[in-house]
C-alpha cells in the first residue's frame, strides 16, 4: 500500500510539471516595455505605478496600471552614485520599497565580472526622477574566504513595521546571502551575512558553477500557515543569439520556500536550496519567451489583489540584444502552497 501522502505529493508534482507546458504568454504590456533589465515595481498611494530598472543610472518609468501604458520619466541617479567602485562602473538591479512616507531604492554598483561591487541606497518622498537623495553604500562587509560573495542584486524584506529588516543579495561565486539592516533601513546591522542558496552544478559549456542571483523574498499565508518564498534567477542571463547557453542553462525563475524568514529553504521535492542544488522552476523559456528572470512579486490592487510575478525576458522574434529585453508579468497562484503561473 503506497504511503497516501507521498502518493498525493507525487500527483501534485505531476500536475504542476504538466502545467509548465501550459505557461501562458506574458500579460499585455502597453507603452514603453523595452530596454528592461531587473525591474522593480511598486504602486504609489495615488495609484501611480513605478517601474525602476537597470539602464542609464537606473531608469524610472510610470504607468496608471501594471499593464501600462508605461512612460519613461528619467534617471533615478542622474549624476551616478556616491559609491566609487571602479572606472566606468554601472548601476544595476534596483529594489524599491516604501515605508512611512519614504521610498527606499537599493542598487548595485558594478561592472561585468567584477567581484568588488557594492550596494547603495537612495530615498525619495515621491519616487519621481530628480527627487532622489543618494545615501551611498549601506556598508555591507566585504567578502571573506568563507563568505565569497558579490555585493550586487539587493533585496529588502520586512514583514511588519517593527519586524527585523532582512536583506538578501548576491550572485555568482557563492550566490545568495542574507543579513539584516538597521531600523533606519539605510545601513548594515553588523550581523554577518549567511549563505542561503547555492547551485554547484557545472553546466557543460562553462568552467564555473551555474549562477544563482536576483533573489526576491515574499511571504504568503497558505491555509493559515505562513511561508517565506525565496525567488531567484538561475543560469545565463544574457548572450548573443549565436552564443546562447545550452537549453536549460539559460535564465529562468526558480523558487524555494521556508517556514522561517531565514531558512532553511527547500524546493517542492524537499531538496535543500543551499546544500542540494534545490529549486523549483516557476517560469522558464516557452514560445517566444526566452530566458525570463530579474523578477519580483507584487500584489496588484487594481486587479482584485491578484499577485503578479514580473520579470524581464527576451522575445525571440524581436532579438537578444541588451536593448531588446522586454518587461513581462503574469499572475501567480499560491493555492497549492507553491507559486504557479496562471492565465489571468
Ligand atoms: C524606454 O524605457 C527604458 C526603461 O525604462 C528607457 O531606458 C528607455 O530610454 C525608454 N525609451 C524611450 C524611447 O523612452
Ligand atoms: C522631493 O519632493 C518633495 C515634495 O515635492 C520635496 O519636499 C523634497 O524636497 C524633494 N526632495 C528632493 C531630494 O528633491
Ligand atoms: C534565524 O534568525 C534567528 C534570530 O534572528 C536565529 O536565532 C536563527 O538561528 C536563524 N536561523 C537560521 C537558519 O539562520
Ligand atoms: C542549477 O544549474 C543547472 C545547470 O545550469 C540547472 O540545470 C539547474 O536548473 C540549476 N538549479 C537551480 C536550482 O537553479
Ligand atoms: C514577440 O514579438 C512579436 C513581434 O513583435 C509579437 O507578435 C509577439 O506577440 C511577441 N511575443 C511575446 C511573448 O512578447
pLDDT tens, residue by residue, 286-301: 999 999 999 999 999 9
CB 68 within 8 Å of CB 30: yes
Find, among 233, 286, 252, 232, the residue nearest to 25 by Cα. 286
Give the residue-averaged pLDDT of 33-45.
98
Segment 201-213, tens digit of pLDDT: 999 888 999 999 9
Using alpha carbons, list the distances in angstroms from residue 8 to 15, 199, 291, 321, 341: 10, 28, 31, 44, 21
Check whether 169 has a pLDDT greater than 70. Answer: yes
Check whether 16 has a pLDDT greater than 80. Answer: no
CB 33 within 8 Å of CB 327: yes
Check whether 276 has a pLDDT greater than 80. Answer: yes
Distance 34 CA to ligand 1 centre (A): 7
Q: Which helix (H) or strand (E) holds 10?
A: helix 4-20
Check whether 4 has a pLDDT greater than 50. Answer: no
Evaluate whether the domain defined by 4-342 bears CATH number 2.40.10.10: no
Ligand 2 neighbourhood includes 126 CB (under 6 angstroms): yes
Distance 317 CA to ligand 1 centre (A): 20
What band does 22 get if pLDDT is binned at 50, 70 and 90?
confident
CB 105 within 8 Å of CB 76: yes
Check whether 3 has a pLDDT greater than 70. Answer: no
Q: Which helix (H) or strand (E) holds 19?
A: helix 4-20
What band does 344 get if pLDDT is binned at 50, 70 and 90?
confident
How much is the pLDDT for 5? 47
pTM above 0.85, yes or no: yes
What band does 251 get if pLDDT is binned at 50, 70 and 90?
very high
Ligand 4 neighbourhood includes 267 CB (under 6 angstroms): no
Parse the chain into domains and list their residue ranges.
4-342
Check whether 103 has a pLDDT greater than 60. Answer: yes
How much is the pLDDT for 12? 52
Check whether 83 has a pLDDT greater than 60. Answer: yes
What band does 150 get if pLDDT is binned at 50, 70 and 90?
very high
Segment 126-135, tens digit of pLDDT: 999 999 999 9
Check whether 7 has a pLDDT greater than 60. Answer: no
Pull the grid cell for residue 331.
499572475
User: What is the three-class DSSP state of 8?
Assistant: helix
What is the overall mean pLDDT for the chain?
Answer: 94
Check whether 6 has a pLDDT greater than 90. Answer: no
Check whether 18 has a pLDDT greater than 50. Answer: no
Ligand 1 neighbourhood includes 337 CB (under 6 angstroms): no
Q: Closest ligand 3 atom, CA of 260?
A: 1
Residue 2 CB partners (closer than 8 Å, separation 6+): none
What band does 19 get if pLDDT is binned at 50, 70 and 90?
low
How much is the pLDDT for 20? 54
pLDDT above 90 covers what percent of the chain? 91
Segment 227-241, tens digit of pLDDT: 999 999 999 999 999
Q: Is 91 buried (19+), middle (13-18) or exposed (0-12) by CB count in 10 A?
A: buried
CB 110 within 8 Å of CB 92: yes
DSSP 139-199: -PPPP-SSS-----S-EEE-SSTTS--EEEE--STT-EEEEEB-TTSSSB-SPPPEEEE--
Distance 241 CA to ligand 4 centre (A): 21
- Closest C-alpha to ligand 1, atom 2: 72
Amino acid at each position: 500500500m503506497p504511503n497516501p501522502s507521498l502518493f498525493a505529493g507525487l500527483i501534485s508534482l505531476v500536475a504542476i510539471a504538466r502545467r509548465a507546458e501550459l505557461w501562458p504568454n506574458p500579460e499585455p504590456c502597453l507603452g514603453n516595455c523595452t530596454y528592461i533589465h531587473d525591474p522593480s515595481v511598486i504602486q504609489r498611494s495615488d495609484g501611480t505605478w513605478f517601474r525602476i530598472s537597470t539602464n542609464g543610472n537606473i531608469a524610472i518609468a510610470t504607468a496608471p496600471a501594471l499593464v501600462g501604458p508605461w512612460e519613461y520619466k528619467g534617471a533615478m541617479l542622474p549624476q551616478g552614485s556616491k559609491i566609487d567602485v571602479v572606472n566606468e562602473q554601472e548601476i544595476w538591479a534596483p529594489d524599491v520599497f516604501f515605508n512611512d512616507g519614504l521610498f527606499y531604492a537599493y542598487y548595485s554598483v558594478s561592472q561585468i565580472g567584477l567581484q568588488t561591487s557594492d550596494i547603495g541606497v537612495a530615498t525619495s518622498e515621491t519616487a519621481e526622477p530628480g527627487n532622489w537623495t543618494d545615501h551611498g553604500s549601506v556598508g555591507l562587509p566585504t567578502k571573506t574566504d568563507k563568505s565569497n560573495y558579490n555585493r550586487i542584486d539587493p533585496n529588502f524584506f520586512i514583514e511588519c513595521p517593527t519586524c527585523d529588516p532582512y536583506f538578501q543579495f548576491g550572485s555568482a561565486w557563492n550566490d545568495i546571502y542574507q543579513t539584516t539592516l538597521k531600523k533606519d533601513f539605510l545601513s548594515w546591522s553588523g550581523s554577518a551575512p549567511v549563505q542561503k542558496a547555492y547551485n554547484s552544478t557545472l553546466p557543460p559549456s562553462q568552467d564555473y558553477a551555474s549562477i544563482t542571483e536576483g533573489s526576491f523574498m515574499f511571504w504568503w499565508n497558505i491555509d493559515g500557515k505562513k511561508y517565506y518564498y525565496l525567488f531567484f534567477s538561475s543560469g545565463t542571463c544574457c548572450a548573443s543569439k549565436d552564443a546562447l547557453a545550452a537549453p536549460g542553462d539559460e535564465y529562468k525563475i526558480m523558487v524555494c520556500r521556508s517556514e522561517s524568514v531565514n531558512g532553511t529553504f527547500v524546493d517542492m521535492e524537499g531538496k535543500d536550496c543551499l546544500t542540494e542544488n534545490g529549486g523549483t522552476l516557476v517560469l522558464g523559456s516557452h514560445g517566444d519567451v526566452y530566458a525570463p528572470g530579474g523578477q519580483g512579486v507584487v500584489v496588484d490592487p487594481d486587479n482584485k489583489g491578484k499577485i503578479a510575478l514580473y520579470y524581464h525576458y527576451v522575445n525571440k522574434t524581436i532579438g537578444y540584444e541588451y536593448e531588446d529585453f522586454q518587461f513581462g508579468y503574469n499572475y501567480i497562484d499560491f493555492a497549492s502552497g507553491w507559486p504557479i503561473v496562471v492565465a489571468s
